[in-house]
Amino acid sequence: MNNELLIRMILAERLPKNHAAWNPVTRELKNALAGAGGEERTLALLNKELELPESPMLLKDLHIPIKEGYAQIDILLLHRKFVCVLEVKNMTGEFYFDTENFQFHRMIDGRREGMKNPESQLHRAVKAAEKFLHAPVDGIIVLASRSGRVVEGPKHYPVVSLDYLPFYLEKLAEGEKRLDPLVLAAKLRSLPKRDFRKQLLERYGVSLNEIRLGVTCKSCRNCAMIRSERKWHCVRCGMYSKDAHEVTLQEFAVLFGEELPTGFAYRLLGVEDKYVLYRLLEKSALQGNERGKRWIVPRPELLEAYFRAVYR
């Protein structure tokens, strides 16, 4: 999971439902989850079925600079014979590409829905990749759902169903060797990491004093647990845990950074005893040279495990 997706998941859990940002957060989270599911299926299929003379490199969730902004790339495939951007769409319905006005809509359940044009998104990503890598780049729109059907196709790029994608890519590899994928990958990995935290919090208008604090019960999911007898207890469902605070610390780190003021840690975890707080933070938020502050040890696998259970 990338940080952008994790931030939306945390906000959907921690924002009160009457907050102005809760509806857009949950709506965009739903779309992001669908997209992530399509990308995971695409990567799994390629790793399993794609047969090329030499193994390709598959890079995902890239943001390549273009003019004043960035082009987002779902999956970039690097091979000695070609480079290809995969624009993965995990949508259902009937799809219509307007080749004259470069617009896009789908029909679903008798309704017409205008949406961002996948061909325009792909074209922007291809041009950004070509300029950054100084290499020719192909592009494919990938339909990850079998419940999607193209009625009117795009003008400049192919649309390929996920099942057929390995065969299509194998055709691209029939040309001459011309690229060094290791050199291209090194260049892409040198790109600075984008910090979505500040961008999304400002966009949604969310500040620290607006989110729900406390250690979340992973069963109730919106109920703060109480620390008693070295365990976290949920008064609503009776569940208990020894280390539920670990996820809360990771959530705070993703939203607001790894620096944790000790005074705020009492409120964040909902404890009052300084010895209890010390034991809870001893290994999870390390002391530095600055008095009154700790630094949370990043453990993204805890958040991934928690949210995979929530959104399975």
Condensed to tens digits (0 to 9), the pLDDT of residues 132-186 reads 999 999 999 999 999 989 999 998 999 999 999 999 999 988 877 788 999 999 9
Contact between residue 88 and residue 75 where contact means Cβ atoms under 8 Å apart: yes
Helices (H) and strands (E) in the chain, counts: 10, 15
| 0.85 exceeded by pTM | no
SS3 263: helix
205 DSSP 8-state letter = T
CA distances (Å), origin 226, targets 13, 171, 217, 305: 18, 59, 10, 22
Sequence-distant (6+) residues with CB within 8 A of 309 are: 218
| CA dihedral of residues 65, 198, 307, 141 (deg, nearest 10) | -20
Query: What are the tokens at 32?
Result: 């992001």
Q: Please tell me the predicted confidence (pLDDT) of residue 198.
A: 87
Q: pLDDT at position 294, please?
A: 95
Q: What is the DSSP letter of 157?
A: S
The span from the CA of 263 to the CA of 207, in Å, is 18
pLDDT value at position 50?
93
The pLDDT score that the predictor gives to residue 185 is: 94
Tokens 């009937």, residue located = 94
Q: Are 64 and 85 in contact (CB under 8 A)?
A: no
Determine whether 125 is exposed, middle or buried from the number of CB atoms within 10 Å of its CB (0-12, 13-18, 19+).
buried
Q: With a cut of 70, which residues of the chain have pLDDT below it?
A: none
Question: What is residue 256's predicted lDDT score, i.e. its pLDDT?
Answer: 94
Structure tokens at 25: 């957060």
Structure confidence at residue 119 (pLDDT): 92
DSSP-derived secondary structure letter, 163: G
CA distance 202 to 210: 13
- Enumerate residues 6+ apart whose C-beta is below 8 A from 115: 104, 105, 106
